[in-house]
Amino acid sequence: MIFNPQIILEKLPEIGSGLLVTLILWLVGIAGGVAVGFLVATARRFGGRAINLGLGALVEVLRGTPFLIQVFLLYYGGPFVGLMLDPIPCGLIALTVYAAAYYSEIFRAGYAAVPPGHVEAAECLGLSRLQAIRRVQIPEMALIVLPPAVNLAVILLKESAVLSIITVPELTATVSAIGSQQYAFLEAIFVLAVIYWAIVEATGRLGRVAENRLSRLRTANA
Amino acid sequence: MSLPAIAITKLVKRFGDSTVLQDIDLEIPEGKVSCLIGPSGSGKSTLLRCLAFLEEPTSGMITINGEALGFFEAPNGKRERLPPAQIRAVRAKTGMVFQQFNLWPHMTALGNVSEALKTVHKLPKGEAEARALAQLRKVGLENRANHYPSQLSGGQQQRVAIARALALEPKIMLFDEPTSALDPELTGEVLNVMRDLAAEGMTMVVVTHEIGFAATVAHQISFLDHGRLLFSGPPSEIFAKPRHPRLDQFLDTYLDRGASMLA
């Protein structure tokens, strides 16, 4: 048996369409996850005890169960409660909810890392609570969470491969199908690894560039 | 005598079971510099934070220019919280400078100083920035207007923080150990700005470990120990011998920190 990834690369258009689906799932998952996660963290911080505990419990359940199980529950369990979803919407919802749970924790830690004195200074200068949140707490928190947020984005890309099991025609499903057709399973897995790694590497670099650009906005001392 | 800038009566502050301030009575004269000194944990910072309403007194009363801050205590002991708009109006009479500067790292020096002028006072951007720039000029940092806090030295950051508080034209400036987070060679530039401010007749309340500054600039020095105000008076009286034994003991720890001239 000869190891020949060329067999896989001959199917470039199909790989491209799988890659496109993966990228869309990933980017929409990140955008939705960041938006919902931000709202959850903000509601937990400023919304009072009951909201904090309720949302906190939900986040714990989502973080405490494997993504694979969540996807199965939504896809195969959904119909029992009248939720019939096609693979792609189901995958999108699952990935977004999963991302939101983790992003909300990143934002929660980010809020906690803003020095209370910065908020006190705003208060002393007459800024209202809402103005202090909008002008001081949110921008400072956003800078603090950049590195872990990029890290989570990378994890989400890799988790999106799980969606192949509910027949979402994303990268992993597409390429491993080609591998089966061509009797070149190992080659398929190898090509997959290279593509995922390339995207992760590019994302990491982009994140570092952003961090360097924003580094002057961090407090030097104190 | 004219109305004191700040009048503190029977002020008590407790955190849980521990009493941090016990029956403080003090008047801060208008247009003068008052220093609060005392060992760590004596309650001097808490007292200053009460004046900024960052801490709410457990009981007692504070008036600023004759107006009650936060709570109104009737002679029969009944205590009422004042409406938020009124609390805000009285708080606006004071400006606060923190030990850790507390500049907002995502805004330039100019952004820090103009922020409240824009968001609170609703000034147009151009006017707010012109006024902010004038304040930065006053603390000698006009040419650092577009620097971020991380690009400034500690002394420069603290001067920006002073400019930020001054921009709102407070009647009284509160300083909470403004030089304690600075290298010794950077404290001078901050103390000089404060001296200039004192010379202009600004009412200032300064919590400080800079005994030399207190002795030379303050009109009134108040010594706190274990949450009690032990005594208060002009430096000439306070530092004159024979001194209160507790003060002598306290000053001993300072002899090698710039207070040797008082020995």
pLDDT at residue B81 tops 70: yes
Contact B102/A126, CB-based, under 8 Å?
Answer: no
The confidence score (pLDDT) of residue A185 equals 84
Instruction: Give CA–CA dist A103/A149, Å, rounded.
Output: 7
Query: Looking at this protein, which amino acid is placed at residue B92?
Result: A
Q: How many CB atoms lie within 10 A of CB B246?
A: 15
**Which chain B residue's Cα is nearest to A117?**
B102
The beta-carbon contacts of B194-199 under 8 Å, at least 24 apart in sequence, are B194/B162, B197/B162, B197/B166, B197/B173, B198/B33
Residue A222: inside a domain, yes or no? no
**What are the structure tokens assigned to A12, written together?**
């470039």
* Domain enclosing residue A184, as ranges: 6-217
pLDDT per residue as tens digits for the range B130-184: 999 999 999 999 999 999 999 999 999 999 999 999 999 999 999 999 999 888 8
Model-wide pTM > 0.90:
no
Residue A147: inside a domain, yes or no? yes
Residue A59: inside a domain, yes or no? yes
**DSSP readout, A50-108?**
HHHHHHHHHHHHHHHS-HHHHHHIIIIIGGGGT----HHHHHHHHHHHHHHHHHHHHHH
Residue A51: inside a domain, yes or no? yes
Residue A1: inside a domain, yes or no? no
Q: What is the ipTM of this complex?
A: 0.90
CATH number of the domain to which A186 belongs: 1.10.3720.10
pLDDT per residue as tens digits for the range A178-207: 888 888 888 888 889 999 999 999 999 999
Q: Which chain B residues contact residue A136 at CB under 8 A?
A: 104
Residue A180: inside a domain, yes or no? yes
Q: Which residues in chain B (79-118) have CB-CB distances under 8 A to chain A? A: 88, 91-92, 94-96, 98, 100-106, 115-116
pLDDT per residue as tens digits for the range B183-195: 888 899 999 999 9
Contact B105/A136, CB-based, under 8 Å?
Answer: no
- Into how many domains does chain A fold? 1
Residue A98: inside a domain, yes or no? yes
**Which chain B residue's Cα is nearest to A140?**
B106
E strands, A130-208, are none
Residue A191: inside a domain, yes or no? yes
Interface test with A, best of B103, B106, B115, B176 (most A CBs within 10 A): B106
pLDDT per residue as tens digits for the range B212-254: 889 899 999 999 999 999 989 999 888 887 888 888 888 887 7
